[in-house]
Chain A
Amino acid sequence: MIRELHTDIITENVKEMCIEANHFLSPDMVQAMKQAKDREESGLGRKILGQLADNLKIAGEEMIPICQDTGMAVFFAEIGQDVHLVGNYIEDAVNEGVRQGYEEGYLRKSVVGDPIFRENTGDNTPAVIHCSIVPGTKVKLTFAPKGFGSENMSRIFMLKPADGIEGVKDAILTAVKDAGPNACPPLVVGVGIGGTFEKCAILAKKALTRPVGTCSSVPYVAELEQEMLDKINALGIGPGGLGGNTTALAVHIDTYPTHIAGLPVAVNICCHVNRHVVREL
């Protein structure tokens, strides 16, 4: 059975998702921040985590964006292969939603039209849209606006097979150490291992949208996530980079088959303003 879905519905939902994501962190993130404050050993670290908790409260109550960097709009669109989209081209529909959401939500327009000439597009478009075709009759949209304080500290490492899991651990720790205070810790660290150059980057980005507190279904990957979280928190960078044992709230790792000659690793660093909203249409 083919199901019809008008793209106006996509536009309307995208608009709402832009405003929601930038004012309300998802419950998993709020919970993780709260637990971090209870565990933080540094006095200054606890003070900063307290300010971040206040910040979330003010953002929701007074409708002021959680962070002024309301991000470049990143979408994962999983489109059921039995859906027939009517109306506009899907990317136009998403961009129209971004345009309306960023305007009506008083969100910052942070996109320049050309990376060299750098003129602001004025409406935060275009979005970065990753479409995939999946079984079924639904469209699942995941919106994850990404701030660039943390995006700028993200890395890709094309390791050799002989580097193995120890090489992967080093790569993750190197990226986090280099990020230091710049990426607004406490962080959420998304890691993609395997695939190709671009595949591991997309895996890492998508891993950031997984609910914090859940772990990989692959036992050795789940263990690696926990080990890396402990190692990152032992670095001492702390909240705001001002010292403490809360440097990351979570490490999410996803893997994919790769080539006999390679071991790509992408580390997508996200700040504590790890925004993600999911809707199924």
Chain B
Amino acid sequence: MEKYITTPITQEVTAGLKSGDYVYITGTVYVARDAAHRRMTEALDAGKELPIDIEDAAIYYMGPSPARQGRPIGSAGPTTATRMDRYAPRLLDLGQKAMIGKGNRSKEVVDAIVRNHGVYFAAVGGAGALLSGCIKESEIVCYEDLGAEALLKIRVENFPAVVVIDCNGDNLYEHVLP
């Protein structure tokens, strides 16, 4: 089913999503990949605050190419979410609701999704030029020294994605894989 949703991704939003749904996301989304997740985890370990408002947040696993003059962002497709499996459960337990990426997730992540009424979306891998057009604004929140891996805040409009793991833990990839 096609659905239009807006951020923040509350429990009411995730309750209305089923694995296999095709959604268009509008609103504020954070962008972070391996190195930014590692830094956030190190911050938590050191007893510091996270640099983002994690409550009902959506994090897009992505590292864009540089923006040309006059554009908010460059090519901006998803990166493989599996690499964030080690960090994701902790952030979900702190309030994050949605993850956007591509590829398989670990059992620990699926459990954390169920426990926290979260959701995992897949965006189309390798469609960075197309997805770039759905990103209307982008700003660096922190970790600028990481270059393409800096933590960003973006505003998306009708960003297309597929619900892969819904809040009940139902996993679309599992229906597909042999």
Residues of A in contact with B (beta carbons under 8 Å apart): 44, 47-48, 51-52, 54-56, 58-59, 62-70, 106-110, 118, 120, 122, 147, 149, 152, 177, 180-182, 184, 235-238, 240-243, 271-273
Q: Write the nearest CB–CB distance from B165 to chain A, whole angstroms.
A: 12
Give a binary string over B116-127; 1 marks a CB under 8 Å from any A CB, 0 the rest: 000000101111
| Interface bracket on B | 35 or more
Within 8 A of A (CB), among B43-101: 62-68, 71, 74-77, 79-80, 82
Q: Write the nearest CB–CB distance from A261 to chain B, whole angstroms.
A: 33
Contact of A273 among B104, B126, B130, B178 (CB under 8 A): B126
Interface of chain A, main secondary structure: loop
CB–CB B104/A55 < 8 A: no
A271 to B77, CA, bound (A): 13
Is residue B162 contacting chain A, with contact meaning CB distance below 8 A? Answer: yes
Report 27 cross-chain contacts, Cβ distance below 8 Å, ordered by A residue. A44-B22, A51-B130, A51-B160, A55-B124, A58-B133, A64-B128, A64-B129, A64-B132, A65-B75, A68-B62, A68-B76, A68-B128, A69-B77, A69-B128, A70-B65, A108-B63, A108-B65, A110-B63, A120-B149, A149-B102, A177-B177, A177-B178, A236-B176, A241-B122, A241-B173, A241-B177, A242-B173
CB–CB B75/A66 < 8 A: yes
CB–CB B162/A44 < 8 A: yes
CB–CB B82/A68 < 8 A: no
Is residue B147 contacting chain A, with contact meaning CB distance below 8 A? Answer: yes
Nearest A residue to B175 via CB reads A243
Q: Write the nearest CB–CB distance from A260 to chain B, whole angstroms.
A: 35
Contacts of B162 in A (CB 8 A): 44, 240, 242
Nearest A residue to B162 via CB reads A242
